[in-house]
Amino acid sequence: MDNVPTRSTIMDTNSYRGDAPDELPDSDRQLVNRREQLLGPAYRLFYQKPVHLVRGEGAYVWDAHGTQYLDVYNNVVSVGHCHPAVAEAVGRQLRVLNTHTRYLHEGIVDYAQRLLATMPAELDQVMFMCTGSEANDLAVRVAQVATGARGVIVTREAYHGTSALTSGLSPALGSGQPLADFVRLVDAPDTYRGRDGSAFAADVRAAIDDLVGAGFGFAALLADSIFSSDGVLPGEQGMLREAVDEARRRGGMFIADEVQPGFARTGEAFWGFARHGVVPDLVTMGKPMGNGFPVSGMAARAEALAPFATTLPYFNTFGGNPVAMAAGQAVLDVIEQEGLQQHSGEVGARLLCALQELGDRHPQVGDVRGAGLFIGFELVRDPSAKTPDKQLALQTVEALRERRVLTSVAGPHGNVLKLRPPLAFQERDIDWLVSALDEALGELAAQ
């Protein structure tokens, strides 16, 4: 099996390279220089003209010069930038107590109960961390102990974290990051190119055979149910069932990475995996949980967790702290009280329709697909051959930035616009986004 990762799209594709520093305002250029000097070269900034943000509200952000932007990329602040309910809950708890989980506290137990109530009954225990990387790291370790095997299958452009373990499971980080020897890659299902759930399951089957043959055994299939980094590939409902069944038949576990598709984003269900009628063995969560406050989690079937948990005690200093739990509770409150799952489904459907109509007017738009407020907008050079057009995608992202719309790209070829706004995105914002895209594509086609 091919074990060579493709070039990074999440870090390098839409990044600042300093080609035209004179185009930046003096204050921004000075800040870029200070940042590079003090933070070192590993970090990346978006855009050829980086955006200096100073304030956010709902689906909007403002830069240091007072310019307002529409944020169509940010799922970290899932219910909206600086949501007052979350800010109030965090501040209130921070003024009372913040400590670790080795003392009794109602907050972690109450939140665990409420979070698990959003999941299938089979998922009955949860552990907390601070980042999605930590959650995926723990989930893989749990699966390896439970199965007695090491082998893990991920998709070809997957991103699952930055720890030593999870970076080795994240081909999206690029060729400079070697994959772990016990990892095998499979292509994500892509209905635009005729690759369905059965093809995905067949590749999973072959990858399991290869892992077993190499002596690693098979521990887990780890997948983001909307294949975010692979190009936003929601597919038909139920598409993952055959592959998950195959993984279980071969003695492995299914780990659902819900950092991006979870917490009502797809509209059709609270969790991305639920669109496919499957119940994972382990579910990992991250960024959207605290609306920007660092909190993550791993939900599990008790029988899946037991072999690890009864052998190795686990401690994460700030995982599950009272402030993080207050943030998590507030996010669930907002999703429920503001009807954000229904909102995501309804507004997302209207946005998808508007973008598909836009695509009909521009031949360089190959496919528009999505679920709720998570949409992939694929650009191609040749619609009949479906040839990816990475250069056009990058030009479009920059043209949108000039029209005060912020987003980025995804997919192995970097040619898919990843449209994933905060759930505070409103119907009135559709015109702003679609008009900006229409103008940008028209302008670029005329060049």
CA neighbours closer than 13 Å in the CB half-sphere of residue 180: 21
At position 255, the amino acid (one-letter code) is I
- 13, pLDDT greater than 50: yes
CA atoms in the 13 A half-sphere facing the CB of 182:
18
Apex 373 CA angle, 372 and 376, nearest 5:
95
Cα–Cα dist 345/98, whole Å: 36
Sequence-ordered alpha helix ranges (H) in 117-215: 132-147, 164-167, 197-213
What pLDDT score was predicted for residue 4? Answer: 44
Give the confidence band of 24 by pLDDT, cuts at 50, 70, 90: confident
Q: In what order do the strands lie in the sheet with 183-186?
A: 125-129, 296-300, 282-285, 253-257, 220-223, 152-155, 183-186
The answer to whether residue 319 scores a pLDDT higher than 90 is yes
Model pTM above 0.75: yes
What average pLDDT does the segment 114-138 reach? 98
User: Which pLDDT score, from 0 to 100, does residue 1 have?
Assistant: 42
CB 67 within 8 A of CB 404: yes
pLDDT of residue 446: 93
Mean pLDDT value of segment 270-275: 98
Q: What is the mean pLDDT of residues 39-68?
A: 94
Question: CA-CA-CA-CA torsion for 111, 114, 119, 123, nearest 10 degrees?
Answer: 60
Give the pLDDT confidence score for residue 214 in this predicted structure: 98
Task: Supply the pLDDT for residue 2.
Answer: 47
What span, in angstroms and rounded, lies between the C-alpha atoms of 305 and 426?
A: 40
- The runs of H, that is alpha helices, within 387-426 are 390-402
318: helix, coil or strand? coil
Is 70 exceeded by the pLDDT of residue 20?
Answer: no
pLDDT in tens, 232-262: 999 999 999 999 999 999 999 999 999 999 9
pLDDT of residue 3: 47
Residue with tokens 């970290």: 76
Nearest by Cα to 149 from 207, 223, 224: 207
Annotate 248-272 with DSSP letters as a single string. HHTT-EEEEE-TTTTTTTTSS-SSG
Domains observed in the chain: 84-338 (3.40.640.10), 340-446 (3.90.1150.10)
The predicted pLDDT at position 447 comes to: 87
Q: How many residues does the chain have?
A: 447
Residue 261: closest CA among 301, 281, 292, 234: 234
SS3 160: coil
Handedness of CA 75, 80, 81, 87 (dihedral sign): negative
State how far the Cα of 260 lies from the Cα of 135, in Å rounded to an integer.
13
Phi-psi region of 320 (alpha: psi -120 to 50; beta: other; left: phi over 0): left
Label residue 9 by pLDDT band (50, 70, 90).
low
Confirm if 87 and 58 have CB atoms less than 8 A apart. Answer: no
For residues 277 and 243, the answer to whether their CB atoms sit within 8 Å is no
The pLDDT value recorded for residue 178 is 92
Integer Cα distance of 414 and 13 in angstroms = 7
Please, what is the average pLDDT of the chain?
95
Partners of residue 331 on adjacent β-strands: none
Confidence of residue 10 (pLDDT cuts 50, 70, 90): low
Question: Which pLDDT does position 6 carry in this prediction?
Answer: 42
Helices and strands, number each (H, E), in the chain: 12, 16
Q: What is the DSSP string of 2-65?
A: --PPPPPSSSSTTB---S-GGGS-HHHHHHHHHHHHHH-SS---BSSS---EEEEEBTEEEETT
At 82, the amino acid letter reads C
pLDDT band at 22; cut points 50, 70, 90: confident
